[in-house]
Amino acid sequence: MADLRTEFIGIKSPNPFWLASAPPTDKEYNVVRAFKAGWGGVVWKTLGEDPPVVNVNGPRYGAIHGKDRQLIGLNNIELITDRPLEVNLREIKQVKRDWPDRALVVSLMVPCEEQSWIDILRKVEDTGADGVELNFGCPHGMSERGMGSAVGQVPEYIEMVTRWVKQHSRMPCIVKLTPNITDVRKPAQAAHAGGADAVSLINTINSITGVDLDMMSPSPTVDGKGAHGGYCGPAVKPIALNMVAEIARDPVTRGLPISGIGGVTTWRDAAEFMALGAGTVQVCTAAMTYGFKVVQDMIDGLGDWMDEKGHTSVDQFTGAAVPNVTDWQYLNLNYIAKAKIDQDLCIKCGRCHIACEDTSHQAITSMVDGARKFEVIDEECVGCNLCVNVCPVENCITLEPMAAGSIDPRTKRPVEKDYANWTTHPNNPMAVKEAAE
């Protein structure tokens, strides 16, 4: 049986599924319910200095839904915790005492002044919490006050504050990064330079989910006005995966533990983050949408998949996909795949034909021998995958790789399996460029 136990920067948890710092972790009542449901750990909702912040009392959320009302993306304008610091600290201490086998990390955000960090670290240390996560990612409300993503967008500040935290505390320190930046490797490198034990990412992405065209105001609208919020949920997963991979394969930060966050909804999402180097994953939107019990499906699904693959521990596949993340110029240009349409599954809607005919390569028929029929023309197909993606029937269109040695009917070039001599291969644009120079 697969063993899901995780040890992340010395913090043990029965499984890699942690709740991210957010409303689900804002109080003892929620966290205890989460632990009862099976979550391996939590990052407590971000604590700040007293007096606590004041949140809006109108709508805090906006959302993007699929046609079936499935929640695809969530936008929020909530701040850090609005509960008194002492109440949170008392509850954290109690929960850690009652649930010693679960990970309990405390998220923090105070002004960029050394004394403010010393003061709060001392108080958190007294609770017996397992570690701290520095919230350098919150993109609204707090950033205007010089905290959150305002810090996360300046690598020098990240390094400075991380260094203070490591200097004034013996707790493991995770630095939570903002995605609202051009190159996520820079803040990760700064966290590493400051002595961070790990990074977590992503926090939410700056967003406006819609505009109310009657009020002429962005939504969510609070008394006629709206402000940008932070976007999360399934929609942000691809952005988060890329950022995690960038840090995992960067020579400067390679080996730095990562907690992956952003749109994790199923065990498979979690496995993907872990394959790209995340030692644990954190979840917010899925828990807020479906309740704490979603973790059971994640635990069962990950365990079943690991059994199927013969992985007995999570370490055996963590980071396994990182060596296969490469830059474009290293892709094999003589790997050729062609689309294939399963005529038994085809419902003859014609979407593949129209997409290919109007916008791509004119490689799908609409009529064959006077009858409505959709077939791939191998001489024109570049294997782009657009038809696969627009087809409404799953597995009706697939991309079939051509065997090595066969001749591509479009380019008339032989198919090569991989390039032993890629650095000098004529199909490598970089090699061609270098040879010309």
Q: Which residues are catalytic?
A: 138
**Shortest Cβ distance from residue 311 to ligand FMN (Å)?**
24
In the complex, minimum distance from the CB of residue 15 to ligand FMN, in angstroms, rounded to a whole number: 16
Closer to ligand FMN by CB, 46 or 162: give it.
46
Residue 16 vs 383, nearer CB to ligand FMN: 16
Residue 398 belongs to what H/E stretch?
A: strand 397-401
Distance of alpha carbon 176 from alpha carbon 409, whole angstroms? 50
> Cβ of residue 310: shortest distance to ligand FMN, in angstroms?
29
Chain residues in the site for ligand FMN (CB under 6 A) = 20-23, 45-46, 74, 76, 78, 80, 107, 135, 137-138, 176, 203-204, 232-233, 236, 261-264, 283-286
Minimal distance in Å, beta carbon 291 to ligand FMN?
14
Q: Peptide bond before 426: cis, by omega within 30 degrees of 0?
A: no
Output 203 or 209, the one with its CB closest to ligand FMN: 203
Whichever of 107 and 207 has its CB closer to ligand FMN, that residue is 107
Residue 261's H or E segment, with its range, is strand 258-261
- Would you say 184 and 208 are in contact if contact means Cβ atoms under 8 Å apart? no
CA distance 202 to 149: 11
DSSP letters for 26-93: SSHHHHHHHHHHT-SEEEEEEE-PSSPP---SS--EEEEE-TT--EEEEEE---S--S-HHHHHHHHH
Closest CA to 335 of 389, 411, 284: 411
What's the distance, CA 340 to chain centroid? 32
Cβ atoms 203, 179 nearer than 8 A: yes
Please, how many CA atoms are within 13 Å of residue 50, restricted to the half-sphere of its CB? 10
Q: Shortest approach of ligand FMN to residue 263 CB, angstroms?
A: 4
**Judged by CB, which is closer to ligand FMN: 78, or 408?**
78
